[in-house]
Amino acid sequence: MTHVLLIYPYFKPKNSRSIFRFPPLGICYVAASLQRAGHDVDILDCTFMTQNAALDHAVRTEAEVVGIYSMITMQEESVTFARHLRSRTRLLVAGGPLPSCDPQAFLDDFDVVVMGEGERTMVELVRAYAAGDTFTDIAGIAYRNNASEEGNAQSLPRHVRVASPRPLVTNLDELPFPARQLLPNDQYVQYGRKTFGYSKTTVITTRGCPFRCEFCSNAVFGVSYRERSAANVVDEVEQALSLGYDYIHFADDVFTFNRERLLDICAEIKRRGLSVAWECLGRVDSMSRELASAMKNAGCRRVFFGIESGNDTILKLMNKRITVSQARAAITFAQEAGLNVGAFFIVCYPGETNETVLDTLRFASSLPLDYLSFTMPYPLPNTALHERVKDRINKSWRPPESGFLEHICIFDADFSETKMKFAIVKGQISFLLKRRLRHHAYVVVRPFEAITDFLFQHMK
Ligand code: B12
């Protein structure tokens, strides 16, 4: 039995009312598989901690193996942990969406990077470490080839080996449920209730996505689409409810893709009489009136759609495989069924003109939404969008959640960063005016749009 510590290095100021405080699902999956293999596992979820307290806690845990999650917004924090723990830890492992697509960025500070799904890879890695074996037969990792010989590879020469990719888990129902019991559930529940009136956790019911949007990072689940059975999903929902949560965020990329399966899940929630509210991300081309009302009847409160643009040519350029009219229809179905609807858009995407951006802003603010988000384009590593603009990248990523005014455009785009922010503010103001003033909105909105359209068109 090996003592393993898994760290989720996400920090927020104590008084922040962030909507991004989500229990981390990925490391809970890895933890559950390690526990099933007989290891002693702790999770250090930093969501409600200060960095100093978390670093001290990590040291005090004295785990032999430490695995640290990272995604694009957490690279600095995960590397800080790795450096702090380097001299005290036998094996330091990086995993998650960013190490999966950019392993090289972690190999200076970690012994091994796990790429893709982490459950089986981490179990094999810890077994090999404990047995003193080399890592040469383990799929899905990148490492310095001295790491498995010495445990601590710090002072030895660095030859990077990238193993063959880890085959994807074929039967998702066989995976143990994420080890949520290792999380600070009471803190999440209290925080959620106090801040939003409900306590939310995430469940993922499919892995992968059959679509290939140009901007999307699919390094973890690859080119795949796999489903769990309805009974297995609802068993996990019940387990989450037993920990005090009352609201599920289904974290699937395309939760509504297979209507039959979703209808099964809705029927199973109803059959068991569960009192649970939930939300999900939907594909506009898979929505129908029937599906929207079945979702509503089974407790769905809100559906989010990644629509991205209000212009069909730009949707094609993004390889989004939806149309503007499908988007409007899906939102209408959802809204008429009594669901709240949220939508995400990207503005000033490479290839856009002033007119296509204005199409998006007009379209977005004309929809009956209760939540609307605009972002500037982010070329994530290893995406097709990154490939298209890589020669123009001139800055490194900074967390975009600290208020959009602090967002930065990381490449030399056709639109200035100021112009992108102007578009975002303009779109949000139009949306809010239309929502607040309803029937009388045109009195204010028309002149507002005429002036801001003109300013936008003439900005650099
Ligand atoms: C839910 C979600 C969120 C939630 C919560 C995130 C969370 N705490 O889980 C919220 C809404 C907060 C969010 C926000 C953002 N997100 Co998000 N999010 C997701 C989503 C849809 C699901 C995450 C999830 O639960 N996955 C399921 C688990 C099982 O997968 P996993 O976490 O990858 O874990 C597996 C492996 O990575 C690995 N693993 C994970 N951890 C570890 C640790 C170790 C040690 C090891 C060995 C292995 C390992 O094993 C796990 C099991 O197989 C993913 C897309 C996706 N399909 O995963 C995007 C995704 C993670 N998000 C992404 C992005 C870009 C963002 C934002 C930056 C968006 C924005 N513009 O604002 C923000 C940043 C938030 C922040 N401040 O950090 C990108 C990250 C890309 C990248 N290369 O880093 C993704 C991949 C979407 C995409 N396809 O582009 N997100």
Residues of the chain with CATH 3.30.750.200: 301-460
Question: Cα separation of 111 and 92, whole Å?
Answer: 5
Q: Which residues contact 104 (CB under 8 A, 6 or more apart)?
A: 142, 160
Give me the CATH code for the 301-460 domain, please: 3.30.750.200
Question: Cα separation of 241 and 101, whole Å?
Answer: 34
Q: What atom of ligand 1 comes closest to residue 281's alpha carbon?
A: 21
Of 246, 409, 214, give the one whose Cα is nearest residue 320. 214
Fold of 3-162: Rossmann fold (3.40.50)
Q: What atom of ligand 1 comes closest to residue 68's alpha carbon?
A: 45
Q: Chunked in runs of 10, what are the mean pLDDT values of the chain (460 residues)?
A: 97 83 96 98 97 96 97 94 95 97 95 98 98 95 72 54 95 98 96 95 97 96 95 98 97 96 98 97 96 98 98 98 98 98 98 98 95 95 95 80 71 94 95 84 86 94
Q: How far from chain centre, in Å, is Cα 272? A: 29
Nearest CA to ligand 1 atom 9: 24
Cβ 439 vs Cβ 423: under 8 Å: no
Residues of the chain with CATH 3.30.750.210: 175-282
Q: How far is the CA of 62 from the centre of ligand 1 (A)?
A: 27
Q: Would you say the CB of residue 172 lies under 6 angstroms from ligand 1?
A: no
Fold of 175-282: Transcription Regulator spoIIAA (3.30.750)
Question: Cα separation of 381 and 387, whole Å?
Answer: 8
Write out pLDDT tens, residues 383-406. 999 999 999 999 887 655 556 666
Q: Count CB neighbours of 290 within 10 A.
A: 12
Q: How far is the CA of 402 from the centre of ligand 1 (A)?
A: 18
Residues of the chain with CATH 3.40.50.280: 3-162
Interior/surface letters 192-230, b for 16+ CB within 10 angstroms, e for the rest: beeeeeebbbbbbbbbbbebebbbbbbbbbbebbebbbb
pTM, two decimal places: 0.95
Write out pLDDT tens, residues 215-243. 999 999 988 999 999 999 999 999 999 99
Interior/surface letters 405-432, b for 16+ CB within 10 angstroms, e for the rest: eebebbbebebeeebbbbbbebbbbbbe
Q: How far is the CA of 22 from the centre of ligand 1 (A)?
A: 10
